[in-house]
């Protein structure tokens, strides 16, 4: 039976660590959270991030803009936040309404305030092993592996999904930790032949019960990054938890696994940004 990795408890520990460091900074850090439109899931995420800030002693500046916000209005706000010395981090909640170009908006954020680690400069720095910030979800997964003393070096790691936000940076962090990494995706043929070899399997697909027990090696570590809703509206991951739990050595639940860690790592990035802006290390 697998050990269940407690993301909620570890996130609380990370946030307590951040709060302790924030408390002794000369200036209180600030996060600008920009939400455009009425996406209900985004509203929940944004509220969660503002609550995390409060817990860590970080100021949050909410900018809730109407659905009809124009490209220029949003760019003007980002430029203003880039200049604002009270703002250490800028988070533009995705997805944006369809008339706005997410790539353009992300590129407009000053890289040294890009606490999501989405800007091409930060993705580039990460890829050469000189990160300014770490991408929150993959960093959360790495922190969980560290906390549970799960070795990555030399291990076969399989990442399901190749998104810019999770799959690709996850593969990068695992590679930098000396894992031997394979990225699988929707076009991968004979998927199970890869997953069955994985010592560490990270799933970021977005499909309920996508990872079944026959796809998992005995004793594997299974990290479930997805946040899906099943037919009855219940929050669940990609992994058929009940079946895989009896085969894996470690497993993350959904909810209470990677999700809270993603939020905690955002607070960690805020602290990094604040230190950077206050010329501290």
101 annotated active-site: no
Bridging pattern class, strands 228-229 and 89-92: unpaired
Catalytic residue (choose from 52, 116, 224, 238): 116
Q: By CB under 6 A, is residue 91 in contact with ligand GUN?
A: yes
* Rounded Cα–Cα distance for residues 67 and 103 (Å): 18
Task: Give the shortest CB-123-to-ligand GUN separation in angstroms.
Answer: 14
Collapsing DSSP to helix, strand or coil, 30 comes out as strand
Task: Give the shortest CB-122-to-ligand GUN separation in angstroms.
Answer: 13
Q: Are the beta carbons of 42 and 69 closer than 8 angstroms?
A: no
Q: Are the beta carbons of 170 and 190 closer than 8 angstroms?
A: no
Q: Are the beta carbons of 17 and 143 closer than 8 angstroms?
A: no
Catalytic residue (choose from 6, 15, 49, 238): 49
Candidates 35, 92, 139, 172; binder of ligand GUN (CB under 6 A) is: 92
Block residue for tokens 């969980």:
144
- Within the chain, where are the H helices? 7-23, 40-56, 71-83, 102-108, 120-127, 136-147, 167-176, 191-195, 241-245, 258-277
Cβ distance to ligand GUN smaller for residue 92 or 267 = 92
Q: Which residues pair with 251 in a beta bridge?
A: 4, 222
Q: By CB under 6 A, is residue 254 in contact with ligand GUN?
A: no
Per CB under 6 A, the segment of 89-97, 124-132, 182-190, 218-226 that binds ligand GUN is 89-97
Cβ distance to ligand GUN smaller for residue 160 or 198 = 160
Candidates 12, 65, 75, 94; binder of ligand GUN (CB under 6 A) is: 94
**What secondary structure letter does DSSP report for 113?**
G
* Rounded Cα–Cα distance for residues 13 and 8 (Å): 9
Candidates 69, 93, 122, 269; binder of ligand GUN (CB under 6 A) is: 93
C-alpha distance from residue 64 to each of 38, 78, 90, 97 (Å): 9, 13, 13, 13
Q: By CB under 6 A, is residue 200 in contact with ligand GUN?
A: no
Cβ distance to ligand GUN smaller for residue 53 or 220 = 53
The two tokens of residue 128 are 């050469």
Q: Pattern of binders to ligand GUN over 29-68, x per CB under 6 A?
A: ----------------------------------------
Catalytic residue (choose from 15, 52, 88, 93): 93
Per CB under 6 A, the segment of 85-93, 124-132, 203-211, 243-251 that binds ligand GUN is 85-93
The two tokens of residue 237 are 């991951």
Residues 99-128 that bind ligand GUN (CB under 6 A): 116
Task: Give the shortest CB-180-to-ligand GUN separation in angstroms.
Answer: 27
116 annotated active-site: yes
Task: Give the shortest CB-113-to-ligand GUN separation in angstroms.
Answer: 13
Work out the end-to-end distance of the chain between its first and last CA atoms, rounded to an integer number of angstroms. Answer: 42
207 annotated active-site: no
Residues that bind ligand GUN (CB under 6 A): 91-94, 116, 136
Residues marked active site are found at 49, 93, 116
């Amino acid at each position: 039976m697998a050990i269940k990795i407690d993301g909620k408890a570890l996130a609380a520990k990370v946030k307590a660590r951040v709060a302790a460091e924030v408390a002794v900074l000369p200036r209180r850090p600030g996060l600008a959270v920009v939400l455009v439109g009425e996406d209900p899931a985004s509203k929940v995420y944004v509220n969660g991030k503002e609550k995390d800030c409060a817990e860590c002693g970080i100021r949050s500046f909410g900018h809730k803009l109407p659905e009809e916000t124009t490209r220029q209005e949003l760019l003007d706000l980002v430029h203003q936040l880039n200049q604002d010395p009270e703002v250490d981090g800028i988070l533009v909640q995705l997805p944006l309404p369809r008339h706005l170009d997410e790539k353009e908006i992300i590129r407009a954020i000053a890289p040294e305030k890009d606490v999501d680690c989405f800007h091409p400069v930060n993705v580039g720095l990460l890829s050469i092993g000189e990160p300014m910030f770490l991408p929150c979800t993959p960093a959360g997964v790495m922190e969980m592996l560290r906390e549970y003393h799960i070795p990555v070096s030399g291990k076969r790691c399989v990442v399901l999904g190749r998104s810019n936000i999770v799959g690709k940076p996850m593969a990068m962090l695992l590679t930098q930790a000396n894992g031997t990494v394979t990225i699988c995706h929707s076009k991968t043929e004979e998927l199970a032949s890869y997953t069955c070899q994985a010592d560490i399997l990270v799933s970021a697909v977005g499909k309920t019960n996508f990872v079944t027990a026959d796809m998992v090696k005995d004793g594997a570590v299974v990290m479930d990054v997805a946040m899906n809703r099943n037919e009855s509206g219940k929050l669940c991951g990609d992994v058929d938890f009940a079946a895989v739990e009896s085969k894996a050595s470690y497993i993350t639940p959904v909810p209470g696994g990677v999700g809270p860690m993603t939020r905690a790592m955002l607070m960690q990035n805020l602290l990094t940004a604040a230190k950077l802006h206050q010329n501290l290390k």
